[in-house]
Amino acid sequence: MAQSTNKELVEELEKRNVEGKYDQMIRKAKLNWYHDFKAPDEAPGGTKLDLVNDLANFPELNDIRRDVINGEYDESPDEEDKENMRAYAPKSLWKSLGL
Give per-residue pLDDT as tens, 43-96: 666 688 899 999 999 999 999 999 999 989 877 777 887 887 777 778 887 788
d(CA 57, CA 23): 13
Q: Is residue 3 part of a domain?
A: no
Cβ proximity of 25 and 13 under 8 Å: yes
Q: Is residue 79 part of a domain?
A: yes
Give the tens place of pLDDT for each residue, 13-55: 999 998 999 999 999 999 888 877 777 677 666 688 899 999 9
Q: Is residue 1 part of a domain?
A: no
Q: Is residue 46 part of a domain?
A: yes
Query: Structurally, how many domains does the chain consist of?
Result: 1
pTM of the model as a whole: 0.78
Q: Dihedral through CA 51, CA 11, CA 65, CA 97, nearest 10? A: -60
Q: Is residue 47 part of a domain?
A: yes
Which domain range does residue 88 map to?
A: 8-93
Helices (H), 6-99: 8-16, 23-30, 47-55, 62-69, 79-88
